């Protein structure tokens, strides 16, 4: 499946923010932003880290929801929270690309608009590709970019653990 930049990188940034955890320190969030080539003017400070982790909690709800209609409602709420007219930008020598917040807006607003837009695009491409790991006890979220779109686990390790547990349970039932 081919995602546009918002459905791809922006959705993956949303995943990374959620998976960073509810108390991610500023330096961890700096690393997350750098990993997804998001270049804030300054390092993330403590107040911004708190706002971003609150935002990640809202994003987490989208991944946890399995009903498509409710998931759409949640993403629409996110979009409404960061509403701004989209425009095309060419900053830092980059090719033309969409922005949903002014490039000089505060970091938190830019990141929230970017991730809300990314989840919206991913949801519109295929609402079933936004998910949470099926292994009991694992809360890791993901956007399924696999060819067949049938991903159930966040990693091979979680898939193997779940399959081994299922195998042991079936053997005990015999």
Write out pLDDT tens, residues 77-133.
Answer: 999 999 888 888 887 788 888 788 887 889 999 999 999 999 999 999 999 999 999
State the Cα–Cα distance between residues 40 and 156, nearest whole angstrom: 33
Beta bridge partners of 132: 141
Distance CA 61, CA 70 (A): 10
**Long-range pairs for 42-48: beta carbons < 8 A, 24 or more residues apart:** 42/107, 44/107, 48/107, 48/108
In CATH terms, the fold of domain 5-133+141-146 is: Jann2411-like fold (1.10.3300)
What DSSP letter does each residue of 47-72 carry, written as one string? Answer: HHHHHHHHHHHHHHHHHH---HHHHH
Full-model pTM? 0.86
Give yes or no for a contact between 14 and 119, defined as CB atoms under 8 angstroms apart: yes
Q: What is the DSSP string of 82-140?
A: T----EEE--TTPPPEEESS-TTS-HHHHHHHHHHHHHHHHHHH-GGGEEE--STT---
Torsion 94-100-101-106 (CA) sign: negative
pLDDT of 2 higher than 60: no
Give the pair of three-digit tokens for residue 54. 């609150």
Angle at CA of residue 1, ends 52 and 16, nearest 5° = 20
Q: Among 41-45, 69-73, 104-108, 117-121, name the one with the lowest average pLDDT.
A: 41-45
What is the residue whose two structure tokens read 């949640």?
A: 74
């Amino acid at each position: 499946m081919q995602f546009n930049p918002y459905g791809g990188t922006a959705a993956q940034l949303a995943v990374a923010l959620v998976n960073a955890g509810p108390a991610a320190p500023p330096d961890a969030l700096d690393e997350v932003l750098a990993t997804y080539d998001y270049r804030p003017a300054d390092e993330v400070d403590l107040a911004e880290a708190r706002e971003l982790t609150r935002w990640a909690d809202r994003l987490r709800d989208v991944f946890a929801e399995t009903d498509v209609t409710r998931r759409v409602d949640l993403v629409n709420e996110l979009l409404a929270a960061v509403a701004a007219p989209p425009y095309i930008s060419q900053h830092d020598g980059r090719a033309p690309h969409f922005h949903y917040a002014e490039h000089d807006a505060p970091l938190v607003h830019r990141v929230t608009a970017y991730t809300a837009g990314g989840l919206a695009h991913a949801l519109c491409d295929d609402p079933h590709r936004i998910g949470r790991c099926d292994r009991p006890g694992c809360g890791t979220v993901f956007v399924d970019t696999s060819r067949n779109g049938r991903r159930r686990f966040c990693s091979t390790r979680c898939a193997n653990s779940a399959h081994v547990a299922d195998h042991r349970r079936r053997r005990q039932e015999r």
